[in-house]
Amino acid sequence: MSFRNQINVSKLPDHVAIIMDGNGRWAKEQGKLRVFGHKNGVLAVRDTVEGAAELGIKNLTLYAFSTENWNRPKLEVTALMELLVSTINKETKTLMENNVRLNAIGNLEALPSRCYKELKEAMEKTAGNTRLTLTLALSYSSRWEITQASKKIAADVVAGNIKEEDITEALFSSYLSTHQLPDPELMIRTSGEHRISNYLLWQLAYAELYFTNKLWPDFRREDLFEAIFNYQQRERRFGLTSEQIS
């Protein structure tokens, strides 16, 4: 039976975060350049977004480019940025038709200006869409984000806008780039690596982690459904005992 039919749709995670990993290895397996893997990764993005929307997931966040990825060979970085621009260009119409809002987190100003412009336009165009919020983490790292938030809080304390005693977990969260999103309940990483790689460190505090050996270009909606079904079999205790939960 397909995993889709076994999912309890009344208990969906509100927010699923994904580390799309394995594009390079997928390409290498076929004797192709790494960029070929990224291009095929776009097909996996499309199918996963469609699957999430079809199921009724409200928030999907994809790690598309990390701060550390800037150190990759220049050719690969340029190709990835081109791919981003062309994908956003091509897919904005589909996002509108499917009522999907495009959002982005990370040091967006570090992106090439054409990429930043395309992204901003697509975000503005889709801002009113309500079915699913698709967030791309771009030029993103969690330590960068937490450092930025700390600086802003410090500046607000110095300016007298807030007092030291106002600093709570909720206030800290409100200074993060994810302030409009609930914390992810489920984080999926492909390609068999068991790491978080500087991704949403604060927000993933209580997330369930799901790892699959599938390389990202092979990932499809049925794999998303399998991960969600697996998540639904788990007991989330948030530090309590099993008896307290039941």
Site for ligand FPP in 57-86 (CB under 6 A): 62, 64, 69, 83-84
Q: Does 45 bind ligand FPP (CB under 6 A)?
A: yes
Q: Does 214 bind ligand FPP (CB under 6 A)?
A: no
**Distance of alpha carbon 22 from alpha carbon 15, whole angstroms:** 22
Q: Are 140 and 126 in contact (CB under 8 A)?
A: no
Q: Does 137 bind ligand FPP (CB under 6 A)?
A: no
Residue with smaller CB distance to ligand FPP, 42 or 162: 42
Nearest alpha-carbon partner for 47 in 96, 94, 105: 94
The SS3 assignment for 2 reads: coil
Q: Does 129 bind ligand FPP (CB under 6 A)?
A: no
Q: Which of 21, 40, 59, 223 is catalytic?
A: 21
75: left (phi over 0), alpha (psi -120 to 50) or beta: alpha
With CB under 6 A as the contact rule, which of the stretches 6-14, 16-24, 98-106, 140-148 interacts with ligand FPP?
A: 16-24
The SS3 assignment for 89 reads: helix
Q: Is 69 a catalytic residue?
A: yes
**Distance of alpha carbon 21 from alpha carbon 199, whole angstroms:** 13
What residue ranges bind ligand FPP (CB under 6 A)? 20-25, 34, 38, 41-42, 45, 62, 64, 69, 83-84, 87, 136, 191, 216
Q: Give the residue numbers annotated as catalytic, written as ranges.
A: 21, 69
